[in-house]
């Protein structure tokens, strides 16, 4: 088997540049929800020393001085362009595994050896031309090595977007130039510990005995070690059902109003319920939590949560929202100002394997709720909050989020379609 990891370069920034060519060559950052901190950077902004996670207020002076361009997160645009890229990958390779919004593995089984490089080079050109997004491709015999190769394809222009690790000599050279904490499967958690043991590069790690790796890092470390030696050990992305689903968000402004909190929690719970239905799952338990603003040391702090156990697993908006609001009323205290809230649905089971309660449960009501939720799903396409419960806010789920620097929905709204003069 041979893998090609396709990664969109600086994806959120590239999406903004696709419809705003005046941003090309300029330092650009994209902010998190509520314009809180930097979550994406162009190469130019990286060169300025701006780090991931930098609070926006620390770089605002650069924006005001015209030295830095800033955009709020525009997830509808990013999701649409991601779909377009993934469709091109699916048309190129026999099989793909989508890893994230901006990354996917192409499984190159059945493709002739001499066709691999031209195919990937042509893909880089087509994605750039058809979607406007620059991508890099790393090719190798394992997914972890493909990640390493992708790093070189992205970093060095001489590769023209495609790097291939094929021979033992190429593998050894690439690993010797790769910091150990940049290796997929090691990362920031294990990296500092390994460096403290004198293991600085991926090659240093790969040269350690397998028994030593297993003792230190368990089966995850063993898989990474084998992958770096060219032995495929990372399986296909699991389709196993999620055991829990969380929807949470920080607020633009703190609030202590129970009615406002109830509207927000209702939205979060409804989104969790919809995700359950999309996975054909149902949940036994619903947890609601609240956070005060931990950065406001002048205010009293309070981080409560409460869990409601359902008699029968549910995925309908009515039941999940009802349980979330019940939990909210349990933990709410009017003397605090809250900055964040969230809902978690957990202890999930397959929706077609639900067992009814033994006593006092209205099965007909559950069936009615499920049918109504399915109807809402069929109308609320693309996450639009057109049909909703009375306890939810009107409009789109994103209402109330600070997005002062947001670009248009160029590819998903007729009112925002690009105009050429």
Task: Give the span between the Cα atoms of 274 and 216, in whole angstroms.
Answer: 40
Neighbours of 390 (CB within 10 A): 5
**Tens digit of each residue's pLDDT, the chain (421 residues):** 899 999 999 999 999 999 999 999 999 999 987 788 999 999 999 999 999 999 999 999 999 999 999 999 998 899 999 999 999 999 999 899 988 899 999 999 889 889 999 999 999 999 999 999 999 999 999 999 999 999 999 999 999 999 999 999 999 999 999 999 999 989 777 999 999 999 999 999 999 999 999 999 999 999 999 999 999 998 754 455 678 899 888 887 899 999 999 999 998 998 899 889 888 899 999 999 999 998 888 999 999 999 999 988 988 888 999 999 999 999 999 999 999 999 999 988 887 765 555 444 556 666 666 666 666 666 565 555 555 665 665 554 444 566 788 889 888 888 888 888 7
Task: Give the span between the Cα atoms of 207 and 70, in whole angstroms.
Answer: 44
Task: Give the span between the Cα atoms of 146 and 151, in whole angstroms.
Answer: 9
Mind spelling out the 3-state secondary structure of the chain? Answer: CCEEEEEECCHHHHHHHHHCHHHCCCCEEEECHHHCEEEEECHHHHHCCCCCCCEHHHCHHHHHCCCCEEEECCHHHHHHHHHHHHHHHHHHCCEEEEEECCEEEEECCCCCHHHHHHHHHHHHHHHHHHCCCCEEEEEECCHHHHHHHHHHHHHCHHHCCEEECCCHHHHHHHHHCCEHHHCCCCHHHHHHHHHHCCCCEHHHHHCCCHHHHHHHHHHHHHHHHHHHCCCCCCCCCCCCCCCEEEEEEEEEEEECCHHHHHHHHHHHHHHHHHHHHHCCEEEEEEEEEEEECCCCCCCCCCCCEEEEEEEEEECCHHHHHHHHHHHHHHHCCCCCCEEEEEEEEEEEEEHHHCCCCCCCCCHHHHHHHHHHHHHHHHHCHHHCCCCCCCCCCCCCCCCCCCCCCCCCCCCCCHHHCCCCC
Domains of the chain (ranges; CATH) run: 1-165 (3.30.70.270), 167-239 (1.10.150.20), 244-383 (3.30.1490.100)
Task: Give the span between the Cα atoms of 389 and 78, in whole angstroms.
Answer: 28
DSSP lists the bridge partners of residue 300 as none
Contacts of 49 (CB under 8 A, 6+ apart): none
Tokens of 151: 């790093």
Handedness of CA 1, 173, 147, 126 (dihedral sign): negative
Neighbours of 358 (CB within 10 A): 7
Please, what is the Cα angle at 192 between 98 and 177, to 5 degrees? Answer: 65
């Amino acid at each position: 088997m041979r893998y090609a990891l396709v990664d969109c370069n600086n994806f959120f920034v590239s999406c903004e540049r696709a419809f705003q060519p005046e941003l090309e060559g300029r330092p650009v950052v994209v902010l998190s929800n509520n314009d809180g901190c930097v979550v994406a950077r162009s190469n130019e902004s990286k060169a300025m020393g701006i780090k991931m996670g930098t609070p926006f207020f620390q770089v605002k002076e650069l924006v005001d001085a015209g030295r830095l361009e800033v955009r709020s997160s525009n997830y509808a645009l990013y999701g649409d362009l991601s779909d377009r890229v993934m469709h091109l990958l699916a048309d190129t390779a026999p099989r793909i595994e989508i890893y994230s919004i901006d990354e996917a593995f192409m499984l190159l089984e059945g493709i002739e050896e001499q066709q691999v490089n031209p195919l990937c080079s042509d893909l880089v050109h087509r994605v750039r031309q058809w979607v406007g997004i620059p991508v890099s491709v790393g090719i190798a015999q394992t997914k972890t090595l493909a990640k390493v190769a992708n790093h070189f394809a992205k970093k060095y222009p001489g590769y023209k977007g495609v790097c291939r690790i094929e021979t033992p000599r190429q593998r050894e050279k690439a690993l010797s130039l790769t910091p150990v904490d940049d290796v997929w499967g090691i990362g920031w958690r294990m990296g500092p510990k390994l460096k403290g043991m004198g293991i600085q590069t991926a090659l240093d790690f790969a040269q350690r005995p397998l028994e030593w790796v297993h003792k230190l890092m368990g089966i995850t470390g063993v898989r990474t070690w084998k992958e770096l030696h060219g032995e495929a050990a990372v399986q296909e992305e699991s389709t196993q059902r999620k055991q829990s689903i969380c929807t949470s968000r920080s607020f633009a402004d703190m609030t202590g109003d129970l009615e406002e909190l109830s509207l927000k929690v209702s939205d979060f719970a409804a989104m969790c319920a919809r995700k359950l239905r999309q996975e054909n799952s149902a949940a036994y338990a619903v947890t609601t939590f609240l956070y005060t603003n931990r950065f406001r040391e002048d205010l009293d702090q309070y981080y409560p949560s409460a869990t409601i156990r359902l008699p029968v697993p549910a995925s309908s908006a009515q039941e999940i929202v009802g349980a979330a609001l019940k939990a909210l009323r349990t933990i709410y205290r009017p003397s605090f100002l809250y900055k964040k809230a969230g809902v978690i649905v957990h202890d999930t089971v397959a929706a077609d394997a639900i067992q009814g309660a033994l006593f006092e449960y209205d099965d007909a009501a559950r069936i009615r709720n499920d049918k109504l939720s399915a109807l809402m799903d069929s109308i609320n396409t693309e996450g639009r909050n057109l049909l909703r419960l009375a306890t939810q806010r009107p409009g789109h789920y994103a209402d109330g989020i600070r997005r002062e620097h947001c670009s248009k929905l160029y590819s998903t709204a007729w009112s925002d379609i690009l105009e050429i003069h």
